[in-house]
Amino acid sequence: MILVLEKEITQDQKNNIRSILFREGYIVREMSEAGQNIIGAVGKGDKKTGFFEALPGVAKVVSISTSFKLVSRQLHTEDTRVQVGDVVVGGERITIVAGPCAIESREQALTIAREVKRYGAVLFRGGAFKPRTSPYSFQGLQEEGLKILAEVREVTGLGVVTEITSPAQADMMMKYVDVVQVGARNMQNFELLKCVGRIGKPVVLKRGLSSTIEEWLMSAEYIMSEGNYDVILCERGIRTFEDYTRNTCDLSAVPALKELTHLPIIVDPSHGTGVRSLVTPLAKAAVAVGADGLIIEVHPNPGEAFSDGAQSLLPQQFELLMDWVRKLSALENKAL
């Protein structure tokens, strides 16, 4: 529920409201929305809304009608901006994250990072723990890969994004990276969601392969209910009957999510299509439907890539994609 506070509320009244909410087991978030002070309270206390409405300092109580609460735009009408170092995701800008599918070596990572930075990427991606369909496929360089990511940040100044596949990796993630990614296959790994909710790092939450928008938002709710509000949603394509593309990139999810949630949403047209020639067209469309950013796989030698070569752009193709993104962002009144 949302408690809209009276303009003349005193600090004592506010403290009293907060302590009652805590006592009743609510998660409490205090915000200012369109000039009004509000308290968002989420939980399953058994007191009726009338009880809270009667508290001194409360002007009115509005209940949140959706199953996701902290994530809901009803609770927080303004767009959330997630800060990663000096990069902001959300609001009036388009954030470009780029890099290889997997960190393969120090040279590979540094070469790609320098290229994508030159063309306008502001965050670097690269998997160190790779969730692969086959146990015989490359599983990632693991901690060695994370150390390379930390070096990429050191050398290029780019914040780094990588996938966490188990709560056991949390300490390593804290040490080496700026943003943790929860991959599509783990979108409903609830212990992992609670874990990333507790660690103090922004999270990219990818949409599950067969997940509905509501299930995806409930997963974001898991993270937020643990106290981490820095959640970025990532549409990366869903499973449909179509098998010409690796996945079906559901771009309608972007404007739908804009209505339902205040969280930023980025699009991954690399996994969304699985086909190199389709990545730029889908990236253009993603910007046009209101995405807050893109995550793009880039590799200088895709034929030799350890994973996802078929969907990786060459650096020159990434440069052309960035030219488009620059033009289209201007049309959307957004900065890069």
113 touching Mn ion, by CB under 5 A: no
Strand duo 87-89 + 82-84: pairing: antiparallel
CA 336 to chain centre: 17
CB of 270 to ligand PEP, least distance (A): 8
Residues 164-203 that bind ligand PEP (CB under 6 A): 183-185
Nearer to ligand PEP, 76 or 236 (CB): 236
Q: Closest by alpha carbon to 172, among 200, 143, 195?
A: 143
Helices assigned H by DSSP within 201-307: 213-225, 253-260, 269-273, 276-288
Q: Does 267 bind ligand PEP (CB under 6 A)?
A: no
Give ∠ CA 66-289-116 in degrees, rounded to 5.
115
x/- site string to ligand PEP, residues 201 to 240, per CB under 6 A?
Answer: -----x-----------------------------x----
Q: Smallest gap, in angstroms, from Cβ of residue 48 to Mn ion? A: 49
> Looking at 57, 90, 99, 127, which residue binds ligand PEP (CB under 6 A)?
127
CA–CA gap between residue 56 and residue 159 (Å, rounded): 46
Binding partner of residue 206 among Mn ion, ligand PEP, none, CB cut-off 5 to 8 Å per kind: ligand PEP
Strand order across the 2-5 sheet: 27-33, 36-42, 2-5, 58-62
Pairing of strands 58-62, 2-5: antiparallel
Which of ligand PEP, Mn ion, none does residue 246 bind to, with CB < 5 to 8 Å depending on kind? none
Say which entry of Mn ion, ligand PEP, none residue 326 contacts (CB below 5 to 8 A, set by partner kind).
none
Q: Which is nearer to Mn ion, 73 or 130 (CB)?
A: 130
Which of 115, 230, 268, 308 contacts Mn ion by CB under 5 A? 308
- Token pair 């009338």 is found at 50
- Spatial separation of the C-alpha atoms in residues 6 and 289, rounded to whole Å: 38
CB of 3 within 8 A of CB of 39?
yes
User: Which one of Mn ion, ligand PEP, none is in contact with 183 (Cβ closer than 5 to 8 A by kind)?
Assistant: ligand PEP
Judged by CB under 5 A, the stretch of 44-52, 101-109, 142-150, 252-260 that binds Mn ion is 101-109
Residues at the contact surface with ligand PEP, assessed by CB under 6 A = 101, 127, 183-185, 206, 236, 271
Residue ranges in contact with Mn ion by CB under 5 A: 101, 308
